[in-house]
Amino acid sequence: MPALKTCWRNYLIFRMLTLDKKLLDILACPVCKGPLVYHKEQQELICKADRLAYPIRDDIPVMLEEEARQLPAEEDV
């Protein structure tokens, strides 16, 4: 069964990558309802208006304000 689990995970990752644009079109910042920018390296969705970074854990965006990281003023967005 581990091979099946790995295969399923790879499929989900593939789907996440191919749905990137569609997912970003649907998702919005829960605080200001503004657009989000995907930062692949940090695995975060960034709200430039509120300077909040929402984590992506196990390929799932965590869209909770209390889970978001406040971006320092010196960090580029």
Q: For 49-61, how does the pLDDT look when each residue is reduced to its tens digit (9 = 90+)?
A: 999 999 998 878 9
**8 Å CB contact between 47 and 31:** yes
Q: For 12-32, how does the pLDDT look when each residue is reduced to its tens digit (9 = 90+)?
A: 655 555 446 777 888 899 999
∠ CA 63-51-77, rounded to 5°: 110
**Domains recognised in the chain with CATH numbers:** 2-70 (2.20.25.10)
What HEC string does 50-68 produce? CCEEEEEECCEECCCHHHC
